[in-house]
Amino acid sequence: MKVGMNLLLWTAAVTEEHFGLMDDIKGWGFDGVELPMFAPDCSDWKAIAAKLGDTGLESTAVVVMPADASLISEDALIRQRGIDHLKDSVDACVAVGASAMAGPIFHPVGALVGRGPTEDEIQRCIDSLKVVAEHAKAANVIVALEPLNRFETFVCNSQAQARRISDAVGNSHFGHMYDTFHANIEEKDLTEAVKTGGDKILHVHISANDRATPGEDHVDYETTMRALKGIGYDGWLTIEAFGSRLPELAGATCIWRKMAPSEEHVAKNGCQFVRDLWSRV
């Protein structure tokens, strides 16, 4: 098990300005960072890779679908833009040394249509992800699709839905992730949800119900971690938190008030909580 820290708490695009933060994160006890990768060319990945190497941090990446792309669209050009975006993101992961990329890699976040997904949409998503997964396998990068809660997407909300897609893609380098924030909203039984995800859960986000400090909220982390140990999960437990530092992210994640004393408080206390609980359960 490794504990990571998602840098979205501080930035949507890492630059040299954040290199000192990486030193801090290493000092706070983390094994790695999760790099925002909203555009494959949003950062100098080679420079970041060098800094990570010097600091002794590993990395993963969080990826989203741009507004003009979607893997579920009837329009082949829109689907191709999505495929190209994800393949370019895989290549960026190679450049920075990130072992995995995770996120809602099927449709733009927040683009709701007033209904659930159709069978044709899901099939188009699966067919597109098969192409991406082959590219990722050749690059030795793990891809983990993220189910989001119903208020952020209509395409994939639960472990059962994510498992269906992961199984259908059928690639050793493709699976999905489990996020405690979204599961807290969507899943009826956390243990059963983790069991349903099973060996296709390739990445985990530890995220508080208020998007602030894990352990200072009401999410049932103990049940989740017992279940993860029960399926033999031993990958990343990456803290994903959001604050008001970045207006564009605060608006996207609906953070309207100060939820924690500081970003440092979220990271340091969250890391200690995750490590203590994982060792105890």
Say whether pLDDT at 244 is over 80: no
Tokens of 40: 């494959």
Q: How far apart are the first and last CA of the chain?
A: 13
Of the pLDDT bands very low, low, confident and very high (cuts 50, 70, 90), residue 99 is very high
* Helices assigned H by DSSP within 97-153: 119-139
Tally of residues, the chain: 281
Read off the amino acid at residue 115. R
Of the pLDDT bands very low, low, confident and very high (cuts 50, 70, 90), residue 249 is confident
Fold for the domain defined by 2-280: TIM Barrel (3.20.20)
Say whether pLDDT at 127 is over 80: yes
- Helix (H) or strand (E) segment spanning residue 18: none
Look up the pTM and report it: 0.96
Strand partners, 177: 203
Q: What percent of the chain has pLDDT over 70?
A: 100
* DSSP type of residue 184: H
Q: What is the mean pLDDT of residues 110-118?
A: 96
pLDDT digits (tens, 9 = 90+) for 24-45: 999 999 999 999 999 999 899 9
pLDDT digits (tens, 9 = 90+) for 256-266: 888 899 999 99
Give me the pLDDT at residue 85, please.
Answer: 98
Give me the pLDDT at residue 86, please.
Answer: 98
Give me the pLDDT at residue 129, please.
Answer: 98
Give me the pLDDT at residue 95, please.
Answer: 97
What Rg, from alpha-carbon coordinates, does the chain have?
17
Read off the amino acid at residue 226. R
pLDDT digits (tens, 9 = 90+) for 47-81: 999 999 999 999 999 999 999 999 999 999 999 99
**238 against 255, higher pLDDT:** 238
Give me the pLDDT at residue 245, please.
Answer: 72
Q: What percent of the chain has pLDDT over 90?
A: 94
Q: How far apart are CA 85 and CA 107, in angstroms?
A: 12
Contact 74, 49 (CB under 8 A): no
Q: Specify burial of residue 32 (Cβ count, 10 A radius: 0-12, 13-18, 19+).
A: buried
- Helix (H) or strand (E) segment spanning residue 266: helix 263-280
Q: What is the mean pLDDT of residues 175-191?
A: 98
DSSP for 191-225 reads: HHHHHHHGGGEEEEEE--TTSS-TTSS---HHHHH
Say whether pLDDT at 253 is over 90: no
Give me the pLDDT at residue 114, please.
Answer: 96
Tokens of 150: 């119903």
Of the pLDDT bands very low, low, confident and very high (cuts 50, 70, 90), residue 89 is very high
Say whether pLDDT at 161 is over 90: yes
Tokens of 208: 């508080």
Give me the pLDDT at residue 194, please.
Answer: 98
Q: What is the mean pLDDT of residues 237-245?
A: 89
- Helix (H) or strand (E) segment spanning residue 33: strand 32-36
Give me the pLDDT at residue 255, please.
Answer: 82
Q: How far apart are CA 149 and CA 147, in angstroms?
A: 7
Strand partners, 174: 143
Q: How far apart are CA 17 and CA 275, in angstroms?
A: 28
Residue 166's nearest CA partner among 130, 138, 141 is 130
Residue 95's nearest CA partner among 36, 23, 44, 42 is 44
Q: How far apart are CA 36 and CA 246, in angstroms?
A: 13
Give me the pLDDT at residue 247, please.
Answer: 72
Give me the pLDDT at residue 252, please.
Answer: 74
Contact 176, 162 (CB under 8 A): yes
